Chains A and B, each alone.
Chain A
């Protein structure tokens, strides 16, 4: 076994090692002066830290809990209202509904805007008329209109 790592040293002093690991450390420190000194220092620090004693008795928290528990309701099976109002289900559904409404509204606006843009584009640009040229989309539109008329006639 090599020299003891810091984490292993802490675990050794705090009693957090398995018996076999503990034996290995003990064997090593009996042979390695440096690690033996480190173990002594850590053990001393551990003891000094133990001097900070705290007396937690006399605070009667359990007595208060006993008194309060008499007034508390027994934990019971949850009702649908608990899930809806306490688990954030209602706010979540409101958020989802709002998102859908906003998405539909924005989609509708975008649709209107794109139709208006398309209609504006259908008007022949001025530079074409100044050159006495027909605008292809206008031709296409009339061609389509003719097709529709013919289609209507067939009916």
Chain B
């Protein structure tokens, strides 16, 4: 028996109609991708979790007013990205406090099993070192799997701006990782 998967837009319509299980389904469907994306932007799992949770609460709040004008995922990831930016702003404001607990944060990063590998850490460092807009573009493109047009919809930047950011970002990454390559080998 083939079970037809309900579309995101249909789930939003159901949520708007008061069916709360639709929110849970949306959360299960998009949880991993949102967490990965938020983690890659923010560099901390605790902040990524907050962003993911807040994203679904915003989805719930907006369900009644939601109108499927563009892709649901573009709308969803716009929320994610805005929350990431807010989170970064808050982190900058609390920089002094974070410095005080810097040791714990460093420990937490060391414990991440996915980043034990030297090459993985080198790539993360290279991506983190990019200017903010280039980093966001690369995270959405390389790791989020979004095309130029989707990135343009998510970020609100023009398509030509996205293309230009990606070209510069990949050129920078090629230079940075080229320097590291000799060291890693």
Residues of A participating in the B interface, judged by any CB pair closer than 8 Å:
6-7, 10-11, 14, 16, 41-42, 45-46, 48-57, 59, 61-62, 64-66, 68-70, 72, 74-78
Contact = CB atoms under 8 A, between A and B. Distances in A.
A66 B26 CA distance: 10
Nearest to B25: A62
Contacts of A11: 147-148
Contact of A10 (B28, B61, B120, B170): B170
Nearest to B30: A62
Contacts of A65: 23-24, 27, 53, 56-57
Contacts, number: 110
B177 A14 contact: no
Nearest to A75: B64
Contacts of B124: 52
B56 to A, nearest CB: 5
Nearest to A64: B53
Given A41-B174, A76-B18, A78-B64, A54 B117 contact: no
Task: Name the 3 nearest CB pairs between A and B, nearest first.
Answer: A74-B18, A62-B27, A56-B35
Contacts of B173: 45, 49
B166 interface: yes
Contacts of A62: 24, 27-28, 31
A107 B127 CA distance: 61
